Structure 1
Amino acid sequence: MSIGTEHEGRSYPPSLPYTVSRAKIDEFVAALGDTNPAYTGDDGSVVAPPTFAAVIAARAWGAIFDDPELGLALHRTIHADQRFEVVRPLRVGDRIVSTPTITTVRRRGPADMITLSVRLDTVEGEPCCTAVSTLIHTRQEDAA
């Protein structure tokens, strides 16, 4: 099988919690080269850059790529677009669960354009962010 419009709206169970750590924020900030003081200081005041949510959201994609009904393969996928709807910053010590949903599927020639929405909430249920990604995926039957 392959993914199609009949899969729009399909949600997957929340992931296991991801603990936001100071070390991971530091690594992310170093990779960005961002010197914003909000990302440094003592652990009680440090927040993650808004794009840090992509680290957690991408882990949630596993549920979608592991769904045999969809026929998706990471090696045939290009990450085309990303946006974030931030409710509040991610902080050191937050335990975040991510819930992925297939929002839209559009066929374009030999590829599918898939929009995924991943809701990030604390384990207590407080919303933090929604990461919305567009993926371009080449279907198996068209892969060379």
Structure 2
Amino acid sequence: MPISAEHVGRRYPAAPPYVVSRAKIAEFAEAVRDDNPAYSGDDPIAPPTFAAVIAAQAWGALFGDEELGLALNRTMHTDQNFTFHRPLRPGDAVVAELSIEKVRARGNLEMITVLVDLAVDGEQVCEARSTLMHTRPEEAGDE
């Protein structure tokens, strides 16, 4: 059964906690070429888009849901936004939980909006919302 509007609201179990570290913050800041001093020193914070690293780990449950039949190799990440309640810091054990927020299907094209809630010690610290474009293979006879 392909993904449909009937799947909106489906929640998945949380991904294993991701522990933020100074080293990972520094690696990420270097990778995105952002030398903001807030990302280094004695009390660094993570760059805002670092949350995508953690949120993406929760996507495994979505792609592992056999009922939906989604394939990563036919998926494009088309949009991303974050709502922060506080920055991520070293030592944070972040738990990411994904839910399906919106599904639109047209022919073999599906637009799926997912929301990943990021929490530390039960406190919501960020919402990461992504829109994914997924294509299904053409069925025999649809040509």
State the match for 1:3 in structure 2: 3
After superposition, the CA RMSD in angstroms is 1.5
1:65 aligns with 2:81: no
State the match for 2:107 in structure 1: 109
State the match for 1:12 in structure 2: 12
- Aligned structure 1 segments of 4 or more residues deviating by more than 3 angstroms: 140-144
1:77 shift after superposition: 0.1
SS of the residue corresponding to residue 15 of structure 2 reads coil
Unaligned runs of 5+ in 1: none
* Count of residue pairs the alignment pairs up: 141
State the match for 1:88 in structure 2: 86
SS of the residue corresponding to residue 63 of structure 1 reads helix
State the match for 1:126 in structure 2: 123
What amino acid does structure 2 have at the position aligned with 1:76?
R
1:54 shift after superposition: 0.1
1:38 aligns with 2:38: yes
State the match for 1:21 in structure 2: 21
- d(CA) in 2 for partners of 1:107, 1:14: 26
1:35 shift after superposition: 1.2
Q: TM-score, with normalisation over the residues of structure 1?
A: 0.94
Unaligned runs of 5+ in 2: none
What amino acid does structure 2 have at the position aligned with 1:118?
V
1:94 shift after superposition: 0.2
What amino acid does structure 2 have at the position aligned with 1:60?
A
Q: TM-score, with normalisation over the residues of structure 2?
A: 0.94
SS of the residue corresponding to residue 75 of structure 1 reads helix
1:140 shift after superposition: 3.4
1:111 shift after superposition: 0.7
Q: Deviations over 1:73-130 (max 9, x none)?
A: 10000000000001100000100100100000001332100000000001x1011100
1:135 aligns with 2:132: yes
1:139 shift after superposition: 1.4
Change in CA separation of 1:18 and 1:142 when aligned onto 2, cut-off 3 Å? farther
